[in-house]
Amino acid sequence: MKNFLLEFLFLGMLSSCAFHSGNVSSGSIVDCPMKTIVTGKASTRKFLGLGGLNKTALIVEAKQDLYRKITDKKDLKLTNFTVDFKTTYILFYSSTIATVSADLFDCGDTVNVVSYNPPMIGGLLLGDSIIYEYNGFHKGLVTKHLSKERCAITFLYNNARLKKQKVSQDVIYKITEHSSNRNYFGYDIGEQASVEVLNLKTNTKTIKPCRIIGLNENRLLISYSKEDGLERVLSVDKSQIRQ
């Protein structure tokens, strides 16, 4: 029994947890070929609550790290920035990692881009920026049309790895601004609306102002402020939105 308690205590001391948070900003249309998603990182560490004082602005340092990767290249444009935070706690140690990502466009050869008119299927163009809903929300882009309902995407997973997946368009949300968005989806990126939210603690529903940040044919990705002032991203059915 004594050995069991010691083992249980030892495992408890080694246990750890991590918290993820972040935000997405949709950008303007860039009339150049989509190349990839670039990332920059910055981190800080603490032990017994001490440390991390040499880092004054994690997002700024992560963004500087991102730009250092493309400073020697010309004719490149960045848009659709995303900021993600991962905070890990292990006993008396904690660390915070800030990751800034953006869509990278190569505008070195604009002649072919102007003459090329790619097909739009289900409101999506090849190279469109999207948010993929899979154990959270992940930024990515459309790489290939497979059918009217499915497409291939490349997306950035939690640990900043690029992954490829063939998905239904029901689980991705377009975040690229385009004049056809309202015709295809009935809404537009950045549009202000209201949403009915259920408070689980009080079991009451309230109407909150929100901003539409992603679209597909059946659902919307919205951003709204909680009671504590923090911004929250939520996937909702279109019937829950009031204009």
Q: CA nearest 243: which of 197, 192, 205, 204? A: 192
Give per-residue pLDDT as tens, 150-176: 999 998 887 667 889 999 999 999 999
Q: Are 33 and 7 in contact (CB under 8 A)?
A: no
pLDDT at 34: 67
Average pLDDT over residues 16-23: 57
Give per-residue pLDDT as tens, 76-99: 777 778 888 777 767 656 778 888
Q: Are 102 and 156 in contact (CB under 8 A)?
A: no
Q: Are 236 and 195 in contact (CB under 8 A)?
A: yes
Q: What residues have CB less than 8 Å from 241, skipping those under 6 apart?
A: 187, 193, 194, 195, 210, 212, 220, 222
Distances (CA, A) of 68 to 40, 50, 77, 239, 241: 9, 29, 14, 44, 41
Ranges of each domain in the chain = 16-116
Average pLDDT over residues 34-48: 74
Distance between CA 243 and CA 240 in Å, rounded? 10
What SS3 state is found at 158? coil
